[in-house]
Chain A
Amino acid sequence: MTSTLKISALTKRFAEVAALTEVSLTVAAGERVALLGHNGAGKSTMMKIILGLIPATAGQVEVCGAAPGSAGARRQVAYLPENAAFHPALTGLEQMRHYLSLRGESPGKAMDLLEQVGLGPAARRRIGTYSKGMRQRVGLAQTLIGTPRLLVLDEPTSGLDPVSRRDFYALLDGLAARGASILLSSHALTEVEARTDRILILSKGRMVAEGSLADLRRRADLPVMLQVTPRPGAGEAVTAALPGAEPRADGLVLSCGQGEKLAMLARIAALGDLVADLDVAPPSLEDLYSHFSKRDGQ
């Protein structure tokens, strides 16, 4: 598969501060990649370099086979900035018609795009009257113009309610299925978990982890949490049978390494009637994220 985005040994310095250090990555056509990191980890800086808004200090970046920010690259890349802003005096429809014209598309498609993001009823109101979530949706609508090969989305779901988030990821799935590559950053780790093919973790401008969620889980080897709920009256017997379990208000919590998981489950199963319920919680993305971003001595 051809890669839409190729970055090798990208370094960016602002005066004495290193914003990005030797970052390399590729994004293939149709791939959805999530970029995670603390505020100031370098996510937005990397996106701005990919878009050609700021120059890199060192390293190579190739966007759709062209230099970042070149006319060829800009024709094929759509961007959603963090906190999308528009001129407050224009209506959503006018703003969208303008963006369509700039991409050489028919302005007549504006209403259709706004309806796709649920802004049809507000299309003729000025953007100055929109809520943050509505402005964000105008931002999303403009990324759907034409057939971009790469979408760069900076915190795309901030300000969206849960239902709109689900609709948004459904839109992304459709775009990815058509072959568009998607690079998005997010703080909402749980939604990234289910909706992306690959995860990149940036910490202090360095790429500290890269891979699918399963890859990262395996590599981090974080303990699995098991929650055991004893039958009424069987609490003491279960506690005695499971040394090391930590009593909580609603039962017992055990933690064990990935390799001991099955053995531990067998021991719990052997308790038979004494146990009323059992939940297994794999390490969450939050756990993985803090594991990888802390590893670099934070």
Chain B
Amino acid sequence: MSRILATAGTEFRIALRNRWVAIAMVLMALFSLVLAAAGSAPTGGLGVDRLSVIVASLTSLAVYLVPLLALLMSFDAIAGELERGTLPLLLTYPVSRAEVLAGKLIAHLAVLALACAVGYGLAAAAALWADPAASAGLPAMLRLLATSVLLGATFIGIGYALSALSRRPSGAAGLAVGLWLGLVVLYDLGLLAAIVADNGGWFTVHGFPVALLANPADAFRLYNLSASEATAAAAGVGGAAATVPAWQSLTSILLWPVLALALAIAAFRKVIP
């Protein structure tokens, strides 16, 4: 455990020095404040509090931004050590590869959690300041924060796996961008196209919900929208939230980080320094 914490401490220090902490926090704060300002329009008419509406907007933001930040922080984790030549020495130390990854994960996750807490916190403060009744949306906000960290853990784990598989930072960066585009952007477009083509058939009824749950980003969106009961404020794929029970999307959110980390450890074990 002390080896994991030592690794986490060193990695956090590196993230601080590389300005990742600052970049992530500024990015989340900026986008959250913009959403808090823009998202104040539809209140009242929908019969939900201001904060719940902001949570719905923040969910749509986080589904893009959290995986992006997670992949940006993690793609270099193993490929970078290989390129710098620091990996052979590290692996002669009495520390297992799983421990190395766990340490890195804790550090990167802390950066991400900090950024989300700052961003969401600012948005929540803005909502509460404008409308004290918005405190009804606080549980939804906390759910969003917790699931953002889990979503981040998933993509950090996937980033490590890509980093170990490609062995070169440039290759890992390319794979990370491709994966982000695929899972976060193109996946939903593909599903929508399939639904249109299927025209209310088997896929729309049975395949579509499973396909949504299989994608960690979609599961995250489904869970937060259904749990906050702010589905009315969401559009597109989010509209499907009503048809998938919250426990199913929550299970997907909880399973993915474990799966991603297992994948990362398996890929890292295959790396020969």
Contact = CB atoms under 8 A, between A and B. Distances in A.
Interface of A: 48, 51-54, 71, 74-75, 77-81, 83-90, 94, 98-99, 101-104, 107, 139, 142
Nearest to B100: A102
B6 A102 contact: yes
The 7 lowest CB-CB distance pairs between A and B, nearest first, are A101-B6, A85-B85, A89-B17, A79-B92, A74-B94, A102-B93, A98-B10
B193 interface: no
B13 interface: yes
A102 B18 contact: no
Most buried by A among B91, B92, B272: B92
Contacts of B91: 53
B77 to A, nearest CB: 12
Main secondary structure of the interface of B (DSSP, over half): helix
Given A85-B84, A90-B14, A98-B10, A71 B92 contact: no
B2 interface: yes
A103 B85 contact: no
Contacts of B89: 79-81, 84-85, 139, 142
Given A90-B14, A94-B13, 18 more contacts: A51-B92, A53-B91, A71-B94, A74-B92, A75-B94, A85-B85, A85-B86, A87-B14, A87-B84, A87-B86, A89-B13, A89-B18, A98-B6, A102-B3, A102-B7, A103-B94, A104-B2, A139-B89
A99 B2 contact: no
Contacts of A86: 84, 86
Contacts of B96: 71
Main secondary structure of the interface of A (DSSP, over half): mixed
A54 B91 CA distance: 11
Nearest to A75: B94
B93 A99 contact: yes
Given A53-B272, A87-B14, A90-B10, A102 B94 contact: yes
B89 to A, nearest CB: 5
Contacts of B84: 85-88
Contact of B2 (A85, A90, A101): A101
Contacts of B94: 71, 74-75, 102-104
A86 B81 CA distance: 9
Nearest to B96: A71
Nearest to B92: A79
Nearest to B80: A87
A87 B7 CA distance: 13
Interface in B57-109: 84-86, 88-89, 91-96
30 contacts: A48-B88, A48-B273, A51-B88, A52-B92, A53-B91, A53-B92, A53-B273, A74-B92, A78-B92, A79-B89, A79-B92, A81-B85, A81-B88, A81-B89, A85-B85, A85-B89, A87-B86, A89-B18, A90-B10, A94-B10, A98-B6, A101-B2, A101-B3, A102-B3, A102-B6, A103-B94, A104-B2, A104-B3, A139-B89, A142-B89
Contacts of B86: 85-87
A103 B93 contact: yes
Most buried by B among A74, A86, A90, A102: A102
A71 B93 CA distance: 9
